[in-house]
Structure 1
Amino acid sequence: MTSPFAVPTEARASAGAYVGRFAPTPSGYLHFGSLVAALASYLDARAVGGRWLVRMEDLDPPREMPGAQAAILQTLEAYGLTWDGEVARQSERHAVYRQAVEWLLDNRLAYPCTCSRKDLATYPGAYPGFCRDAGHPLQDAAIRLRVPDREYGFVDRVQGRYVQHLGMDVGDFVIRRRDGLFAYQLAVVLDDAWQGITDVVRGADLLDSTPRQLYLQELLGLPQPRYLHLPLLIQPDGHKLGKRYRSPPLQPQEAGPLLLRALRALGQRPDPALAGERPPAILEWAGRHWNAERIPCTLTLAEAQLR
């Protein structure tokens, strides 16, 4: 049972060169937490002469804010974070996601699920598998992936060893929603393989998603990138910096000071002489001095301490 998406072993071995990416969701403007993630992925690539790509994860049109995609790209440019090649968009990849879902269904690796949120409200934690062997029709159903009763783990470059038991901790998870929209877990593994991503640098809120992605990579015959999960910046009320919690959008005129602040959040030690410098000078220095081993080995950081 060979997946039509499988990448030959010899092709993986010959890839070699670093390819990183920044993949924002256009449900709002970039904020300081976004900048920390973008800067880390950018510097991790540029420090070794690698490529840095931008991909819009626009899988959920109802959540997308009009004009956000253009604003995100303009902000990256204003902060000196220039990308290689064309911007990829998940909204243009639906045919690939559909083909993957069909292959997983045909090979009995996935199944239709009609459970509603109300049905599952009294079952916190792993999905209890109500529809696993029910044989529901595909119409008006989500599609769940069958997970094995085993652990999946990896060594994160910052957070260290991370292990999750898919059966007990997660359960069968959704790869296509009931409304027909494709799930992040499926799209991200297909897109990372398609773009040749060798290194994923992102926030620690996605750490527990990684074992699910490792399993999908295994099923689909896709290469496994290296992973680096950054600590999340936490506001005084305990919420992470994000679009939902009043995090102010990045302003072009604040690019220099905020880049220096982001470097400090990443455990780097920017030269005091960079104060007042523009983004090109700051990024040039940061690329020469980038050291991922200095990133704090913690899942969260207090944002107020970085001011």
Structure 2
Amino acid sequence: MAIARRFLPSTSLLYSFEASARHQSFTSAAEELNLTQSAVSRHIRALEEHLGAALFTRDRQTVRLTQAGDAYAREIRAALRYISSATLAFRANPGGGTVSLGVLPTLGTQWLAPRLASFMEQHPDITLNLYTHLHAFEFTENTLDASIHFGTAEWPGSEVSYLMPERLVPVCTPELYERFSFRKCEDLLSAPLLHLVSRPDAWERWFVAQNVQPTSLHGPLFDQFSFIVGAALGGAGCALVPRFLVEKEISTGQLLEFVARPVESEDAYYFARPLARSLSGALETFHRWLLQEVAVENGRQTQRRHKFQRYLEVAKG
């Protein structure tokens, strides 16, 4: 859709307005922009004439945003930020493509970020920008090209593809393991259990999967897996987390994985992109690389399941 130029004020007017709205002062805005106070005042007057309505209420030496002006300021600030980000991304990689990806915080830091060096080495012409989010959103509200989310395959207005399941494992420090003498699944009932706010029944489901009646499930609540992992490393309790989030901690012996039947979450990880936006070559390349990394991860999980089955067979016989 063509942009109607008559609705676009000059950027100099918008910069003066955004700074004035943020400071609630023409004088402070002028100091920030290295302009005179009268120049900022003229910019605001010109913008108000362009819009056909007042943006500020003037009261002697003070100015105050009108209700409509406050809403307009938020929109303009976001638009200027998007323009700045797009310019920065272009300058960082003028010869190639750019992918702006939304990702869950812990998945991004613990799983995706450590793998990015491989992608950058294979595709030096593509710049990948990561932005964290905790909940699903509408792509129309931002400039993301795609997102990795945890939940169901339903995301209105998007093409969604399956990435991988989430298998939860209980972990704790070696010191906590010995202090509570963990040997059987039911032994964990006597220990402090770390809970995720968004999945309050996770431990209960895990105990049921182990054929253990879940009673007296006590312990603190956290709103992110990263907090739970940090608390577990500090010895605060047992954590029930996706194994790929604690691969390093398990391999270095900081955390011990309690051997039990793996429990797969009802939801899974999905890759989503807005249908309203055309699929760029850069995004297609990143998606293909992501699926390859997921295939490697799924292969590791399959090997661990086979090892667990062999463990059960040895234990039985």
TM-score relative to the length of structure 1: 0.24
Richer in helix (by share) = 2
TM-score relative to the length of structure 2: 0.23
Richer in strand (by share) = 2
Q: Which has the higher relative contact order, 1 or 2, with Cα contacts under 8 A spaced 6 or more apart?
A: 1
Flag the structure with larger Rg: 2
